[in-house]
Structure 1
């Protein structure tokens, strides 16, 4: 039995799919089991109940632990005899220095899991391709996406590739004690990502119009992003202007196939922009 927390999230759904395809028995934890819509045969339960009995491995999505740590989950995992924990972490843990709340949160979670005595793997993706969903409203309304730092580079990774690596770590011990950093196969600017989205939607040319960082910050915080996270993200974007993102070989090394491109992600999620 493998337990997946955050099972209806952007990565969790793909983790469930990967495990089901591999023939694993899966228990999916979500805040709203009635709305889960997961594959047939998957057992669905409430996150708050932490039903870990009979589980050999647990996929830990930090979004369900934000602000409270993993103590309760790890105690229950130890009591239930869980052997293996796979963490959805972040490559932000590698960025040292103050003003990095995303990295701080994931670094603390990693340390807590390592101290538990359970076998662990930390999966450390960089920018999710699904970050592009923040532009969906603007794309539905017109042909211009407005945002900061048009020439900032990321290497967006398809969430299905994150899940493929996580599932490999959940099923066996090949990645025990490892913390692979994952990226997509291409470094792309925000402007290039918007162009690719337009091509996937059959709506070229979409274009990216740069706005001042201060205006972007106001929009982020007004939309519910905590101020410290908005500041951290804008700082990272500014530092990546004109600097192509490093491409990690880990997805291909672990899965045996090249990572999916951003164009593939855009095609897979075209309905979200229409």
Structure 2
């Protein structure tokens, strides 16, 4: 476990060195520009629209951060041959992959918390409302980014950065489309279909009262199942690669 944590810490340090924090700054600036354009056609509606915009921005920001790290780190380390230095220190390949994934999950979580805190503060100033329920959306987006980062890492064990980014983007799109595509299909209940839509909490958070503990546990279960499966496949693919 110490080796996994050490590799994860290296990923976090690399993200800081690469100034990933600027992604949060850029999306916070977009939020500042978006506030004056939001409609005000009903009591409580404007807050709902604001929360919807914030959730969309936090997904985009986390997606950029996740792919910037998950799809590029392994190919760049293999190309620079720095991965050999790591693996020569009695580090197993699965530990290297797990540590990389863990570090990316930490970075994306920190970016999401920072952007959400900025959004809540902006709402308090502009709308005089404490929209702390946005942190419920933060949790859902963070879990989804963990799954997407696992897929991007899996792709990057055999593919280049560009292919991994395209593949992870397609995975996210298809993952959200499957639920809608098969919803209502004869004899195929929606919950049978593997879908990333379980992490889509825009409606309950933006226009409702949020989601309950049961739904949160369902998201955690989906996160663990997706991530474990994808990281297992990534390990098999990486073990079979001739370095």
Q: Which has the higher helix share?
A: 2
Output the TM-score relative to the length of structure 2.
0.28
Q: Which has the higher strand share?
A: 1
Output the TM-score relative to the length of structure 1.
0.25
